[in-house]
Amino acid sequence: MRPGAAARRNAREFVGVAPALALVALVFVLPVAALLLRSVLEPQPGLQNYAEIFASATYLRVFENTFLVAALVTLVTLSLGFPVAWLMTIASPTWSGLLFAIVVLSMWTNLLTRTYAWMVLLQNTGVINRALLGLGLISQPLPLINNLTGVVIGMTYILLPFMILPLHAAMRDLDPAILRAAALCGATRGQAFRLIFLPLLASGIAAGALMVFVMALGYYITPALLGGAANMMLAELIAQLIQSLLNWGLGAAAAFALLVVTLALYAVQFRAFGFGAMREGR
Amino acid sequence: MLLDYSRLGWLRYALTGVAALVCAYLLAPIAVIVALSFGSSQWLKFPPPGWTLKWYRALLADPDWLTAFLTSLEIAVIVAVLSTGIGLMASFGLTRGSFRGREALRALFLTPMVLPVVIFAVALYGVFLRLHLNGTLVGFVLAHLVVALPFAIIAIGNALERFDVAIEDAAVLCGASRTQARLRVTLPAIRLGLFAAALFSFLASWDEVVVAIFMASPDLQTLPVKIFTSLRQDLSPVIAAVSSCLVVLTALLMGAAALLRRGRPT
Amino acid sequence: MNRIAFVAGLAAMALALGSAGASRAADMVFTSWGGTTQDAQRESWAKPFTAATGINVKQDGPTDYGKLKAMVDSGNVAWDVVDVEGDFAAAAAKAGLLEPLDFSGLAKGDLDPRFVSANSVGSFYYSFVIGYNKETLGAKAPKSWADLFDEKAFPGKRTFYKWAAPGVMEIALLADGVAPDKLYPLDLERAFKKLDTIKKDIVWWGSGAQSQQLLASGETPIGMFWNGRVVALQQQGAPVEIEWTQNLTAADVLVVPKGAPHKAEAMKFLAVATGPKGQADLAAATGYAPINLKSKALMDAKIAPTLPDAHTQTQINLDMAYWADHRDEIGKRWYDWQAK
């Protein structure tokens, strides 16, 4: 490239980022920073709110639970979503279109309504238990709701499309010739899967997993309705602090702590897998 | 060979089996909702003791539902378009540029997704009150745009990462301007990413309830707020009727889109 | 692509400019929880009020305490009269979020003194009662709160109110044998210990509708409920019953946020809302009880037995003032215990 062209290119690319930056800075960062500041100003200036959070076994347990559930849900959606995305990529256009339609359709009903439908399905007196009891497969209703199982089932349901679609997009971009070449070179399916297929999909997997994990961290309506009291997620606790107990200092502190931990995880993930890894690899 | 359906062998059955189970999983609640919308019991009893159309009649008799639906639709469409557009421009910058702080910027754009939305809602509400923006369409769109943008950036960024910039450069070498090259070469190549961005942005706004409660006013009510209020207070199958109508509408739209695609040469 | 975005942006701006001028403030704004209750409040209070005074009442909702605090903090209050929970009103008054009420236009003597304070006046009141599904339970029926903690006589799931609010603690203490007049100050340790004995079988309900769903479906055949909700189920033919022994009264109250733009109109509205006819009409429509002592005379004799006023022998009043003082502390302990 001609000298100076690189700098000009950078400047032009930065201009593209400008609208997003302006939006996020003005509409998000400024108002939120003002509120988060309350975490060190209310009720007295100082770090008492943070001390309260880290000293409390409850908050730490809620934190822990939130990240564990998010990780678990991410794993489950990946395990279920990967085969579906794969089939969507290679099946005939009709079947693939049908799969696509079903995935998109499942996102269309309102979140709350879907959650209530799961309540109807999972309860002791619900559809699944009654069917299993009726068929004689079980003698006692299975505890599918008001526990971790219910939360995972419900959240996976909501987040699955957010894993499937990016994975499918990544798979579609793969050139089948690469895999055929591998076969010609004598690679088994397992080797091709491990050494070629997965690595090429790394960015798609990372994108899907990131979205699902982060969304799972922030959900609280679904876990509140499908989980038990012991499964409380951080977002629900923060909502309670902000909207019911009106303790904005503590709520802001908990939110800020969540933000810091999540961004730290994101930094680690980025360093390990890197969004730029794909380009470097080529 | 992993991408050749016919050469998969036993893997084919495994994949189909899992996919079938997942489809059943994805459709089960929808089936329940549609069934409940015709059930005669007010309480979500499944199977319903009887069948009736009274929930649909109640839905049609209440103009508030249609108003809320249209309001939500209007906001979500505007948000989807703006989010995809702004996200597209930002993604080009994030993937192509190499200015300093690029990664920090990317993390910043993702922050609205990480921070509990109630914090954003309360913070923005206070600011909007002073600017008299709450209860206005502009305020609502701005608020939802912040919520939706991370989805657009992730989806489009993901697609742009995989797109070989050499193709775009080749177009420029052939005489196109950078913008033309992007419009005619890059955009079609990443259209699945654009679609995902638009879809996720639309849904992020369409389903969003917490910010909506804060931004709402008597004249500006969105569907999720109405459903949330309704479910908390009354739990009537009218909500199931609302959802069923949406499902049918979506299915019809998707069917129409599929027919259109078949008519055109690829 | 960019052209479409541009046009959409123009359209958005046009719409915004158009709508900005359209919705000017109404003569006053009444905010409640939505659903059929707010519909009833609109019919029983707002409509007669507008007819009598010509002042328009705009309905808003749902009540959100975070929103309320944000409004008052920023000095841009959009709500004039708000329906809130009784214990919240006491806490909010302490936090300086409410206007003192002007009782000159209200017949204070007619109002049930349990539900009147300097900053709030009752909207309606109700009781926490024992509800049970007789179809699921069969012959047995719970007779007191202690029965809810009896896993041998009543095995299976039971349901309790989820939030850190008056009710559950008192029930646990009563079930453990504490005398009603010795309930306060609440012995939280004792209450939590009692609740621990059945904790794994408790399903927590967070909204009235959810509680009705749990009871009607038989998922939780016994539990604590708002009386109006169980009565509503009975009216629809669900096989549920109420046990009124040891019922605990609580109330929703009406407040005026500090800095409300239409204070004078708000006070006039309160006069109508708490008047005998307004209260009687609301009670008839919702199954909740009136807070105006003169309303009973105006009400249909058939409704009376369904109201808490008819079941005062073992009735206990939840102490809102105590809760206001200790809300934060109890809330903290409550979440600690729930998360265990």
Q: Residue-wise pLDDT tens for chain C (340 aa)? A: 455 555 555 555 545 444 443 444 458 999 999 888 899 999 999 999 999 999 999 999 889 999 999 999 988 899 999 999 998 998 899 889 999 999 988 888 889 988 999 999 999 999 999 999 998 888 889 999 999 999 898 988 999 998 888 999 999 999 999 999 899 999 999 999 999 999 989 999 988 888 998 998 888 999 999 988 898 888 888 899 999 999 999 999 999 999 999 999 999 999 999 999 999 999 988 888 999 998 888 888 888 788 888 888 889 998 888 888 888 889 888 988 988 7
- In this structure, are residues B193 and B158 in contact, taking their beta carbons and an 8 Å threshold? yes
- Asked whether the beta carbons of residue C162 and residue A245 sit closer than 8 angstroms, the reply is no
Cβ atoms < 10 Å from Cβ of B219:
15
Which residue of chain A has the CA closest to C213? A120
Task: List CB contacts (< 8 A) between C74 and chain B.
Answer: 126, 129-130
- CB proximity B141 to C under 8 Å: yes
* Confidence (pLDDT) at B256: 80
Q: What does each C-alpha distance from C193 to C8, C197, C338 come to in angstroms?
A: 60, 7, 12
Q: How close does chain C come to B24, measured CA to CA in Å? A: 25
Is some CB atom of chain A closer than 8 A to the CB atom of B111? yes
Residue C202's DSSP bridge partners are C158
State how far the Cα of B9 lies from the Cα of A40, in Å rounded to an integer: 61
SS3 category, A83: helix
* Chain B residues with beta carbon closer than 8 angstroms to that of C229: none
Is C59:C8 a contact under the CB 8 Å cutoff?
A: no
Radius of gyration (C-alpha) of chain B in whole angstroms = 23
Q: Which residues of chain B have pLDDT under 50?
A: 266
Determine, for residues B214 and C67 on separate chains, whether the beta-carbon distance falls below 8 Å. Answer: yes
In chain A, residues with a C-beta closer than 8 Å to the C-beta of C64 are: 243
Maximal C-alpha separation, chain C: 74
- pLDDT value at position C8? 54
| Closest to C130 measured CA to CA, from C142, C122, C120 | C142
Distance CA C233, CA C307 (A): 15
**Strand bridging mode C120-133 / C240-255:** antiparallel
Q: What are phi and psi of B98, to 5 degrees?
A: -135, 40
Q: Which residues of A touch C157 (CB under 8 A)?
A: 124
Whether the CB of B78 is below 8 Å from some CB of chain C: the reply is yes
Q: How far is C32 from chain A, CA to nearest CA, in Å?
A: 15
Which one of A35, A112, A120, A124 makes the best mutation probe of the C interface by having the most chain C beta carbons within 10 Å? A124
- DSSP structure class, residue B11: H
Helix (H) or strand (E) holding C261: none
- Do the Cβ atoms of A238 and B119 come within 8 Å? yes
Residue C109: partners with Cβ closer than 8 Å, 6 or more residues away: none
Distance CA C193, CA C337 (A): 10
Provide, as residue numbers in chain A, all residues whose Cβ is less than 8 Å from the Cβ of B243: 109-110, 113
> What pLDDT, on a 0 to 100 scale, did the predictor assign at position C144?
92
Q: Within chain B, what is the greatest distance between any pair of CA atoms?
A: 70
CB-based contact C19 B218, cutoff 8 Å? no
Pairs across A and B, CB distance < 8 A: 306
Q: What is the dihedral of CA A66, A67, A70, A74, to 10 degrees?
A: -170
What radius of gyration, in Å, describes the C-alpha atoms of chain C? 22
Distance from CA of C200 to the nearest CA of A (A): 9
How far apart are the C-alpha atoms of C145 and B239, rounded to whole Å? 34
Contact B97 A258 (CB under 8 A): no
Q: What burial class does residue B258 get, using C-beta atoms within 10 Å of its C-beta: 0-12 exposed, 13-18 middle, 19+ buried? A: middle
Q: Are C267 and C278 in contact (CB under 8 A)?
A: no
* Other residues' Cβ atoms within 10 Å of the Cβ of residue B99: 15
Cβ A263 vs Cβ A214: under 8 Å: no
Residues in chain A closer than 8 A to C62 (CB atoms): none
Domain A56-281 sits in CATH at 1.10.3720.10
Q: Write out the H or E segment, with its range, that includes residue C225.
A: strand C222-226
Pairing of strands C120-133, C81-85: unpaired
Distance from CA of A231 to the nearest CA of B (A): 17
Contact partners of B by the rule of 3+ C-beta pairs under 8 A?
Answer: A, C
Q: Which of A8, A60, A76, C24 lies closest to B135, judged by CA?
A: C24
Amino acid residing at B180: Q
| DSSP one-letter string for C11-33 | HHHHHHHHHHHH----SEEEE--
Largest CA distance in chain A: 78
Are C312 and C127 within 8 A, CB to CB?
no
* Closest residue by Cα to residue B49 from B58, B59, B32, B36: B36
Nearest-by-CA chain B residue for C26 = B218
Which residues from B are below 8 Å from C11, CB to CB?
78
Residue type, C340: K
* pLDDT the model gives residue B48: 80
The minimum CA-CA distance between A22 and chain B, rounded to whole Å, is: 11
pLDDT of residue C269: 95
> Which run of H or of E encompasses C125?
strand C120-133
Q: Which residues of A touch C336 (CB under 8 A)?
A: 56-58
- Write the residue in C64, C91, C338 that is nearest to A232 by C-beta: C338
Candidates B190, B198, B175; CA nearest to B96 is: B190
Say which amino acid occupies B83: S
Tell me what pLDDT residue A243 has.
86
CB within 8 Å: A232 and C335: yes
Contacts of B141 (CB under 8 A, 6+ apart): B75, B78, B79, B82, C12, C16
Q: Is the peptide bond before C62 cis (omega within 30 degrees of 0)?
A: yes
A232 has a chain C CB within 8 A of its CB: yes
A17·B90 Cβ contact <8 A: yes
B225 touches C: beta carbon within 8 Å: yes
The Cα–Cα gap between C246 and C174 comes to 8
Domains identified in chain B and CATH numbers: 63-263 (1.10.3720.10)
Residues of C in contact with A245 (CB under 8 A): 164, 327-328, 331
- Coil, strand or helix at C64: coil
Instruction: Tell me which residue has tokens 């192509």.
Output: B96
What is the residue extent of each domain of chain C?
25-125+252-310, 126-249+314-339
pLDDT along chain A (282 residues), means of 10: 71 84 94 90 86 88 92 96 92 88 86 86 87 87 89 94 91 85 82 84 87 89 86 89 87 91 80 50 32
Residue B49: predicted pLDDT: 80
Does the domain at residues C126-249+314-339 carry the CATH identifier 3.40.190.10? yes
| C-alpha closest to that of B42 among B231, B229, B244 | B231
Whether residue B82 and residue C71 make contact (CB cut-off 8 A), yes or no, is no
A125, A224, A232 member nearest C217 (Cβ): A125
Decide: helix, strand or coil at residue C254: strand
Closest C-alpha among C171, C222, C211, C207 to residue C192: C171
Distance CA A115, CA A191 (A): 41
Q: Nearest 5°: CA angle at C290, between C284 and C294? A: 105
Q: Of B224, B226, B227, B187, whose CA–CA distance to B204 is shortest?
A: B224
Strands C81-85 and C240-255: antiparallel
- Does B119 reach chain C within 8 Å, measured CB to CB? no
Query: Any chain C CB within 8 A of the CB of A245?
Result: yes
Please tell me if residue B111 touches chain C, with a CB cutoff of 8 Å: no
A246 CB within 8 Å of a chain C CB: yes
Judge whether B83 and B151 are in contact, CB under 8 Å. Answer: yes
Query: Which residues in chain B have their CB less than 8 angstroms from residue A126's CB?
Result: 46
CA–CA min distance B159, chain C (Å) = 17
- Note whether B27 contacts A: Cβ–Cβ < 8 A: yes
Please give the Cα distance from B49 to A126 (Å, whole number).
14
Q: How far C5 CA sits from the closest chain B CA (Å)?
A: 6
Closest Cβ opposite residue C219 in set A123, A243, A248: A123
**Rounded to an integer, what distance in angstroms lies between the CA atom of residue A148 and that of residue B232?**
23
Identity of the amino acid at A165: L
Q: Contact B44/A105, CB-based, under 8 Å? A: no
Tell how strand C120-133 and strand C222-226 pair up.
antiparallel
Provide the pLDDT for residue B130.
Answer: 85
Residues 206-245 in B contacting A (C-alpha not used; CB under 8 Å): 207, 209-210, 223-224, 227-228, 231, 235, 239-240, 242-243
Each residue's pLDDT tens digit, C155-207: 889 999 988 889 999 999 999 999 998 999 999 999 999 999 999 899 999 88
Q: How far is CA C20 from CA C10, C75, C137, in A?
A: 15, 21, 57
- Decide if A216 contacts A72 (C-beta within 8 A): no
Q: How many whole angstroms separate alpha carbon C160 and alpha carbon C15?
A: 47
- Scanning A130-189 for CB atoms below 8 A from C yields 146
CB nearest A31 (choices: B105, B127, B153): B127
Assign A49 to helix, strand or coil.
Answer: helix
Q: Is C30 helix (H, G, I), strand (E, B) or coil?
A: strand
Burial zone of C94 (CB within 10 Å; 0-12 exposed, 13-18 middle, 19+ buried): middle
Instruction: Determine the Cα–Cα distance for residues B140 and B120; give it in Å rounded to an integer.
Output: 13
Residue-wise over A1-40: b if at least 16 C-beta within 10 A, else e? eeeeeeeebbeebbebbebbbebbeebbbebbeebbebbb
C128-141 in b/e form (b: 16+ CB < 10 A) is bbbbbbeebbeeee
**DSSP β-bridge partners for residue B176:** none
For the domain with range C25-125+252-310, which CATH number is right: 3.40.190.10, 3.40.50.280, 3.30.950.10, 3.40.50.740? 3.40.190.10
Cβ atoms of A73 and A212 within 8 Å: the answer is yes
- Please state whether the peptide bond connecting residue C166 to the residue before it is cis, i.e. omega within 30 degrees of 0: no
pLDDT tens digit sequence for B51-81: 888 889 888 888 888 899 999 999 999 999 9
